[in-house]
Amino acid sequence: MTIDELIEEFDELGDWEAQCDYLIDMGFDLPEFPEEERTEANRVHGCQSMVWLISRPHRNGRATIEFVADSDAMIVKGLIAILLMIYSQRTPEEILATDIKSVFSRLGLDRHLSSARKNGLFGMVKRIQSIAAAQAGE
């Protein structure tokens, strides 16, 4: 699914309750997170819930980054699914050029998430962007 398709799906669902249920369902489809990677070094700080995020360089004809993440909270798992859809398998330059606030606004996340959830979400984004910046040599 592309981000535009996700936005369309959210629009069709209409209210936040249906969107939230869909978000939770998305979290069930996250790739398996390796148990041995649930370490303090891989933890994303700033999130109320536990979130772990790792990256792997990926060579698929171009230098992209694959992200894998997990959380102990169902809604956060759905937010992770959105972030992986946006960022995983992209080049560092594509990641850094993404207008993530615009995407969140189009999805309505800026209106419906609590400030604590928003802080955690942007903590994950900041971690992803710092990984991309390091790989881009910035």
Catalytic residue ranges: 47
Residue type (1 letter), 80: I
Q: Which two tokens stand for residue 129?
A: 């962007």
Nearest to 33, CA basis, from 57, 59, 58, 51: 51
Task: Output 129-132 pairs: Cβ under 8 A, ≥24 positions apart.
Answer: 129/95, 129/96, 131/55, 131/65, 131/67, 132/65, 132/87, 132/92, 132/93, 132/95, 132/96
The number of C-alpha atoms within 13 Å of 44 and in the hemisphere containing its C-beta is 30
